[in-house]
Amino acid sequence: MPKLAAMGVATDSRLSRLFYLGPFITMMDRYCIAPMLIPIALSLRVPFSAAAGVATWYYLAYGLMPPVYGVLSDRFGRVRIIRGALAGVAVSDTLAALAPTLTALLVARAATGAIACGVLPLSLVYLGDRFPFAVRQQAIADLLVWVALGTTAGTVGAGLITHVATWRLVFLVPAALAATLALLLRDLPESLAGPATAEPLAQVREVFTRPWALLLFGL
């Protein structure tokens, strides 16, 4: 991030570039599924409508979990939760690649969705914590470029890999990248001075007792 460094924001350029790979990997994983639905249905010998559940359960789990990760990151740190989520994506994507049945694949992809949503939202929060307002928009814009690249790579790459090899290999690509990045980010500094004092479960319960929060989840 040379622009940010020039503006006086203390950061390691190598770690900064690696940090942006987290949203790239999870967006690649998120948008890889559409080109694979027909090959999955044919491979597992199930109707297309049943195979479409692989996408449905992923997106549902992805949409429900962000408040939980927000609370956990307040308690344990943004970077720690991001790295844990990347490690979890590596495991769940590997299980998806090895899934012998549609049920196993549905469970693995739902788990991936529930875990992967800990990366992009917390990455945005991390940037908000680390960078002053004057340069924050530049940092977020850089991150969104990687989000767009991941979206494109997931859609195009999944189609190509499925065509020349197998849909199972598609899941192994983000799995390997996520596992590697989880290790490489070990030196990334945390953005919070200390953990939150409130209990995580109490904070989650408070969120779900608010009518506006329930309305958003319903939508």
| Full-model pTM | 0.84
Sign of the four-CA dihedral 170, 175, 178, 181: negative
Higher pLDDT, 21 or 196: 21
CATH topology of domain 13-218: Growth Hormone; Chain: A; (1.20.1250)
* Residue whose C-alpha is closest to residue 117's, from 170, 81, 168: 81
pLDDT tens per residue, range 118-171: 999 999 999 988 888 888 888 899 999 999 999 999 999 999 999 999 999 999
Burial of 181 (0-12, 13-18, 19+ CB in 10 A): buried
Higher pLDDT, 26 or 135: 26
**Mean pLDDT value of segment 179-200:** 77
**Torsion angles phi and psi, residue 157, rounded to 5:** -65, -40
Q: Is the pLDDT of residue 59 over 70?
A: yes
Kindly list the distances between the CA atom of residue 89 and the CA atoms of 108, 118, 172, 175, in Å, as whole numbers in the listed order. 10, 10, 10, 6
Using only C-alpha atoms, the chain has a radius of gyration, in whole angstroms, of 18
What does pLDDT average to over the chain? 87
Higher pLDDT, 196 or 186: 186
Contact 129, 121 (CB under 8 A): no
Domain boundaries, the chain: 13-218
Report the alpha-carbon distance of residue 202 to residue 192 in Å, rounded: 20
